Structure 1
Amino acid sequence: MKTVVVGTRRSGLAKTQTLQLIESLKKKNPDVNFEVKEIVTKGDRIVDRQLSKVGGKGLFVKEIEHALKVGDIDMAVHSLKDVPSELPEGFKLSAVPIREDRRDAFLSNDNIPFKELPAGAIVGTSSLRRAAQLQELRDDITVNWVRGNIDTRIQKMRDGEYDAIILAAAGLKRMGWSDDIVTEYFDPEEFVPAVAQGALGVEIRDDDREVHEILSTIHDEVTATETTAERTFLKRMDGSCQVPIGASAQFVDDEIYLTGLIMSEDGNEKYLVKKSNDDPVALGNLVADEMEKMGAKEIIDEINKNK
């Protein structure tokens, strides 16, 4: 029996989504044995600082890619939003399974809707993108940094450190939380999610045809096309988690519509572009072209220079 070693981060969410993916693979490939190897990444080790202040790109993938390169693992399961828009030589994204919910979920004590939070309310997030959009929508609230796994963040809110927090809907659903815990879901057209939010990406050595064939059984072309448009935009804009940047692409009939967002960290400057095309790479570049014409690249260049 063929054995495939699967690399994953050690966090609860990473392990859970990896095991869920393996279950899907087993159904399609009953003659393959899958083993899980947990790997601690730099992003997992840094728990006392904002990730945007530590570098951003590749914080959750570099150690896993090293294990892939030296043959300790045969495939790596990532949250696709953590994967840099350009992979190192020798690797490829072999499969992008069907996407989970792309939206951001708003959780609050006493289920108070976002628009009804009292002035001065404290909202927790570790994302510059979320923070910038929150500040633009409500300049009378305080956005404070929060780290930790889903359970830790929810507990901090319940303990009164925060009046509300924002989490990825996909993570909540994969970890088995019911909709009851969510006060409201933000519309991805109005509160733009992270690039590839809710999607997984499976990375392999680019010459491993056997594992690529196995992974083809769970690949979802719609999700792959949408996230290609989003990641093309990200790559062109040189975005990272040091920059408030978001994108959401969706098929409507045979056209792909892509909404791209770039903001200043304080939420005072906002660039929002929506375009459609039938080619994901052309679409990502179209939205990036428009952003550059509007001057959005200057925000990114300034942030990157200061960091």
Structure 2
Amino acid sequence: MVKFRLGTRGSPLALVQAELVRAALAAAHGWHSDAIALVPIRTTGDRVQDRPLAEIGGKALWTKELDRALLANEVDGCVHSMKDVETIRPAPIVIAAMLPRADVRDRLIGADALDALPEGATVGTSSPRRRAQLLSLRPDLRIVPLRGNVDTRLARLAAGEVDATLLAAAGLDRLGRDAGFAIPTATMLPAPSQGAVGVEVRADDTVAQAAVAAIGDAATFACVMAERGLLAHLGADCHSPVAALASLAGETLSLRACLFAEDGSETVASEAEAALDEPVGAALAADLLARAPDAIRRLFNP
């Protein structure tokens, strides 16, 4: 008998992440894995692979079909890579829990270090953040759009379309791929929420909320929500090159962030600390925007 229906994108990585959630739910509640059904849902972001997300609708392309299925009661919860979830969510949907966060770093595929890339090397990425960060560190690089799932991007790299690309370490690890050079966060901060897998449910479904809450990692939830709070107060969207990472020590939450001009020519960075129950993202956003040059400030809409 199916006790819980989990909506998920159908990509290999999304399915692996959904399996992680299924295993966690089964362990938490003593359910057989067959009692948790995975319901693959094809999203616009999966169908359209030839253009950057920012050109065709942003992060909603990963969520709107899953949202529809959830609100239509076709599934009880939806599994998401949290970095792909819009900052402002529909009121009838809540983030019920997040699994323990995985490696937050980016991995460079195609060279052993950023400094090892040849002069003028072509790097494929459709992420405004990665583009800006790369150009900030290596203005000589040529950045070209590269979308698709992990296998698609690795295949295009192998075919020689680009000299290198960047992929999230967490995704590679979850797929069992030991590839690439992990770039330290001191060199490249990750995308807000990178490495975190979350589960959303209907706000009025207290049964589903309780079931999912049992698998939640409180530290991950606090850090990711702080990073999402920063995005909200910045008025960031999919065009905004922003990197951020929160950490938790006892009841103190620390948040580091960096904003970039689109071409990486200008940056502004800052960090803040606050008690766990304080809105650290709001103060940090205000500080960053107050010090940001026009080339950066115009990319945000607080």
Q: Secondary structure at the match of 1:218?
A: coil
Q: Which runs of 5+ in 1 are unaligned?
A: none
- Whether 1:259 aligns to 2:256 is yes
Query: In the superposition, relative to structure 1, how do residues 17 and 302 fare at CA in structure 2: closer, same or farther (>3 Å)?
Result: closer
Residue of structure 1 in register with 2:68 after alignment: 66
Distance 1:148 1:16 in 2: 17
| Cα pair 2:261 2:295 within 8 Å, conserved | no
How many residues of Structure 1 are paired with residues of Structure 2 in the alignment? 299
Q: What is the RMSD of the two structures over their aligned residues, measured on CA atoms?
A: 1.7
Distance 1:112 1:177 in 2: 16
Query: In the superposition, relative to structure 1, how do residues 296 and 75 fare at CA in structure 2: closer, same or farther (>3 Å)?
Result: farther
Residue of structure 2 in register with 1:132 after alignment: 132
Match of 1:299 among 292, 296, 302: 296
Residue of structure 1 in register with 2:183 after alignment: 186
| Cα pair 1:291 1:297 within 8 Å, conserved | no
Query: In the superposition, relative to structure 1, how do residues 303 and 274 fare at CA in structure 2: closer, same or farther (>3 Å)?
Result: closer
- Whether 1:240 aligns to 2:242 is no
Further displaced range: 23-32 or 257-266: 23-32
The Cα offsets for residues 208-238 of structure 1, whole Å up to 9 and x where unpaired, read as 1111111122100000010111000001111
Residue of structure 1 in register with 2:38 after alignment: 36
| Cα pair 2:7 2:39 within 8 Å, conserved | yes
Deviation at 1:71, TM superposition (A): 0.5
Deviation at 1:281, TM superposition (A): 4.8
Deviation at 1:30, TM superposition (A): 2.2
Query: In the superposition, relative to structure 1, how do residues 7 and 290 fare at CA in structure 2: closer, same or farther (>3 Å)?
Result: same
| Cα pair 1:225 1:280 within 8 Å, conserved | no
Q: Secondary structure at the match of 1:193?
A: coil
Distance 1:68 1:199 in 2: 20
Q: Secondary structure at the match of 2:143?
A: strand
| Cα pair 1:55 1:242 within 8 Å, conserved | no
Deviation at 1:31, TM superposition (A): 3.3
Query: In the superposition, relative to structure 1, how do residues 122 and 34 fare at CA in structure 2: closer, same or farther (>3 Å)?
Result: same
Distance 2:93 2:300 in 1: 29
Match of 1:202 among 199, 204, 208: 199
Distance 1:242 1:302 in 2: 7
Query: In the superposition, relative to structure 1, how do residues 223 and 302 fare at CA in structure 2: closer, same or farther (>3 Å)?
Result: closer
Query: In the superposition, relative to structure 1, how do residues 26 and 296 fare at CA in structure 2: closer, same or farther (>3 Å)?
Result: farther
Q: Secondary structure at the match of 1:7?
A: strand
Q: Secondary structure at the match of 1:61?
A: helix
| Cα pair 1:95 1:202 within 8 Å, conserved | yes
Distance 1:122 1:23 in 2: 40
Q: Secondary structure at the match of 1:60?
A: helix
| Cα pair 2:136 2:264 within 8 Å, conserved | yes
Q: Secondary structure at the match of 1:102?
A: coil
Distance 2:299 2:149 in 1: 31
Residue of structure 2 in register with 1:285 after alignment: 282
Q: TM-score scaled to structure 1, two decimals?
A: 0.92
- Whether 1:101 aligns to 2:98 is no
Q: Secondary structure at the match of 2:214?
A: helix
Query: In the superposition, relative to structure 1, how do residues 288 and 144 fare at CA in structure 2: closer, same or farther (>3 Å)?
Result: same
- Whether 1:272 aligns to 2:269 is yes
Q: Which runs of 5+ in 2 are unaligned?
A: none
Distance 1:302 1:144 in 2: 20
Deviation at 1:48, TM superposition (A): 1.1
Q: Which amino acid aligns with 1:169?
A: A
Q: Which amino acid aligns with 2:133?
A: Q
Deviation at 1:295, TM superposition (A): 3.3
- Whether 1:161 aligns to 2:161 is yes
| Cα pair 2:254 2:272 within 8 Å, conserved | yes
Query: In the superposition, relative to structure 1, how do residues 79 and 296 fare at CA in structure 2: closer, same or farther (>3 Å)?
Result: farther
